[in-house]
């Protein structure tokens, strides 16, 4: 069954030795991660399915990493002391692939290392317990509707197995919120973040699918497709979307939100 779902950001600056003094500006996000981790441990899933925008991506297929173990490190950000390791949930991955490969393009890959879209949130969410199994998924550039549909299949697979699962949609919102933002400034960037958060609170998938494509492009987000897969998995479930924090100290929208299941 599905016992926990959340939306998280993934700035490498959240890792203390990378963020250094900049981490002071992320204290609210870190507090939100503290709450999320506590709730995750209460829900006690066997497996965490984490959807990232930054792993090996296929244009026209969803990608799942089937390595037996995954390493998380931050070497590419010049941080060599943090090394985490997680076990895979191959049983879940094979179930998903076997049951749905005829209706959904699913590409299996084998990669030792997790990308930072998965590593940064897992660093915070597994501080107390590193034994949960991990399923790392990367979204595709198939249509938004296909992402919802893929999420529904993940949900089906979850409920066909006798284990407890969490789904984490990793993604930052707009990268253009301020003049010194990494992707430059767009006056409409704030509008995108505000609108998406509003629609998440209303659980209005239809209107998320109908957000003006130009507005999405202007925002330079990386999280929308991760969120769409999560929304697909949450369809027909009773939940409240709780914003634990939203902030943008460096011009990128960092949303931490939990879908509180009844």
* Contact footprint for Zn ion (CB under 5 A): 172, 222
Q: Which CB sits closer to Zn ion, 74 or 100?
A: 74
Quote the least distance from Cβ 254 to Zn ion, whole Å. Answer: 10
Quote the least distance from Cβ 233 to Zn ion, whole Å. Answer: 20
CA distances from 260 to 150, 157, 254 (A): 21, 21, 19
Quote the least distance from Cβ 111 to Zn ion, whole Å. Answer: 17
Q: Which CB sits closer to Zn ion, 95 or 113?
A: 113
Quote the least distance from Cβ 224 to Zn ion, whole Å. Answer: 11
57: nearest Cα among 109, 22, 94, 14: 109
Q: At what angle do helices 27-43 and 116-125 cross, to 10 degrees?
A: 70
Which residue's Cβ has the minimum distance to Zn ion?
222
Quote the least distance from Cβ 94 to Zn ion, whole Å. Answer: 28
Quote the least distance from Cβ 262 to Zn ion, whole Å. Answer: 31
231: nearest Cα among 259, 193, 189, 198: 259
Q: Which CB sits closer to Zn ion, 117 or 232?
A: 117
Q: Which CB sits closer to Zn ion, 45 or 117?
A: 117
Q: Which CB sits closer to Zn ion, 158 or 222?
A: 222
Q: Which CB sits closer to Zn ion, 172 or 193?
A: 172
Quote the least distance from Cβ 23 to Zn ion, whole Å. Answer: 18
Q: Which CB sits closer to Zn ion, 64 or 222?
A: 222
């Amino acid at each position: 069954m599905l016992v926990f779902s959340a939306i998280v950001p993934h700035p490498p600056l959240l890792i203390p030795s990378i963020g250094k003094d900049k981490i002071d500006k992320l204290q609210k996000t870190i507090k939100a991660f503290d709450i999320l981790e506590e709730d995750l441990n209460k829900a006690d899933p066997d497996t965490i399915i984490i959807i990232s925008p930054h792993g090996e991506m296929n244009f026209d297929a969803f990608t799942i990493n089937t390595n037996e173990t995954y390493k998380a490190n931050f070497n590419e950000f010049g941080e060599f002391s943090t090394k985490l390791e997680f076990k895979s949930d191959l049983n879940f991955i094979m179930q998903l692939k076997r049951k749905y490969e005829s209706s959904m393009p699913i590409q299996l890959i084998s990669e030792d290392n997790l990308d930072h879209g998965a590593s940064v949130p897992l660093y915070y969410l597994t501080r107390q317990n590193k034994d949960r199994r991990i399923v790392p998924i990367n979204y595709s550039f198939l249509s938004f509707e296909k992402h919802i549909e893929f999420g529904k299949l993940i949900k089906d697979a979850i409920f066909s197995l006798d284990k407890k699962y969490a789904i984490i949609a990793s993604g930052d919102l707009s990268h253009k919120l301020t003049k010194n933002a990494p992707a430059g400034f767009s006056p409409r960037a704030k509008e995108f973040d505000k609108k998406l958060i509003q629609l998440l609170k209303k659980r209005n998938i239809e209107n998320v699918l109908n957000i003006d494509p130009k507005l999405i492009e202007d925002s330079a987000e990386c999280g929308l497709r991760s969120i769409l897969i999560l929304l697909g998995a949450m369809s027909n479930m009773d939940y409240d979307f709780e914003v634990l924090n939203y902030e943008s100290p460096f011009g990128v929208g960092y949303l931490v939100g939990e879908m509180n299941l009844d």
